[in-house]
């Protein structure tokens, strides 16, 4: 089974991450809400201390964030942009609620 990093464990992300655990995948999770992380960890996921820690060794990285500004901040900005940390052959799946402008920017269209 795959090693999956899942960022964003709210109303949609949490149940999705739990379903991946139930399917037998190794799921590493991160969210700013400790309660959300604890809920998914109680189902068998592994907590990560940071998004950067989460992507190490992950074959797939799934994000489920509330807005484009969160996705952009995570992947492109800050001291350690996540695009710089993701494994070279990892597949990034963004399932966030995101505007078209941010999506285009993330795809190199800026």
pLDDT digits (tens, 9 = 90+) for 48-67: 999 999 999 999 999 999 88
Tell whether 9 is covered by a domain.
Answer: yes
Report the pLDDT value the prediction gives residue 109, as an integer from 0 to 100.
Answer: 52
- Number of domains into which the chain is organized: 1
Query: Do residues 25 and 4 lie in contact, with contact meaning Cβ atoms separated by under 8 Å?
Result: yes
61: number of Cβ within 10 Å: 24
- H/E run at residue 51: helix 51-55
Tell whether 110 is covered by a domain.
Answer: no
Domain that holds residue 40: 3-94
Q: Which residue has the higher pLDDT, 110 or 76?
A: 76
Tell whether 102 is covered by a domain.
Answer: no
Tell whether 44 is covered by a domain.
Answer: yes
Mean pLDDT of the 77-88 span:
89
Tell whether 19 is covered by a domain.
Answer: yes
What CATH number has the domain bearing residue 86?
3.40.50.720
Give the C-alpha separation, 33 to 88, whole Å: 28
> Dihedral of CA 25/44/59/93: which sign?
positive
Tell whether 47 is covered by a domain.
Answer: yes
Query: SS3 of 102, please?
Result: helix
| DSSP character at residue 19 | H
Tell whether 109 is covered by a domain.
Answer: no
pLDDT digits (tens, 9 = 90+) for 16-26: 999 999 999 99
Query: Do residues 96 and 66 lie in contact, with contact meaning Cβ atoms separated by under 8 Å?
Result: yes
Query: Do residues 28 and 5 lie in contact, with contact meaning Cβ atoms separated by under 8 Å?
Result: yes
Tell whether 100 is covered by a domain.
Answer: no
Confidence (pTM): 0.89
């Amino acid at each position: 089974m795959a090693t999956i990093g899942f960022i964003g464990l709210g109303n949609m992300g949490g149940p999705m991450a739990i379903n991946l655990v139930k399917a037998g995948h190794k799921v590493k999770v991160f969210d700013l809400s400790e309660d959300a992380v604890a809920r998914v960890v109680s189902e068998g996921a592994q907590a990560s201390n940071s998004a950067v820690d989460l992507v190490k060794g992950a074959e797939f990285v799934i994000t489920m964030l509330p807005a484009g500004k969160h996705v952009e901040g995570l992947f492109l900005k800050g001291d350690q942009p996540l695009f710089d940390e993701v494994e070279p052959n990892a597949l990034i799946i963004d399932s966030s609620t995101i505007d078209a402008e941010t999506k285009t920017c993330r795809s190199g269209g800026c």
